[in-house]
Amino acid sequence: MEKDSTRITLRPITDEDEADCIALLRDNIINRTYLLPDFADDEAARPLFRRLRDLSADPAHFVRAVSLDGRMIGFVNDVAMDEKSAEMGYVIRPDLHGRGYATEALRQTITALFDRGLTVIRAGFFEENVASRRVMEKNGMTPTGEEETIDWRGASHRCLYYALRREDLS
């Protein structure tokens, strides 16, 4: 892994993030590859925002706002987590794609989780989502050989999994 950048910070999600978070949850580009329900309006997305906000304060989970200049531009969240491993997901505002923010967010997430004592960090991506694969590779993650087919938004997608073990960093 490359050294950490300081362009972004990971922090708990707050009430002040509500509009930015709901915009992420309702974004059509994000929803192509991130498994989120369709929300008819902001009010329908508000309960998920509140859940993410509450989970970001729960030490048993790892849910964080990705913040640039104090504003939420994305989030990282555990999909599954136990005392030794976590499967993570991440999103960045589409107008900020291609600038390395997802790579930095995942790097900071991996560091924080390894510092907590976890030994394996996993993530999955739809095979056609090359950008997400590159984010994982830039953070030292490698294919696990695991895959599954997920039916999403009217199409079947091959989901591939990558992982990084703490021992691989030495």
| pLDDT tens profile 11-66 | 999 999 999 999 999 999 998 888 898 999 999 999 999 999 999 999 999 999 99
Distance CA 36, CA 60 (A): 22
Domains of the chain, start order: 9-119 (3.40.630.30)
| pLDDT tens profile 92-119 | 999 999 999 999 999 999 999 999 999 9
Q: What is the pLDDT of residue 3?
A: 47
| pLDDT tens profile 57-76 | 999 999 999 999 999 999 99
Distance CA 40, CA 138 (A): 36
pTM for the model stands at 0.93
What is the token pair recorded at 139?
């953070």
Do the beta carbons of residue 103 and residue 1 sit within 8 Å? no
What is the token pair recorded at 113?
């989780």
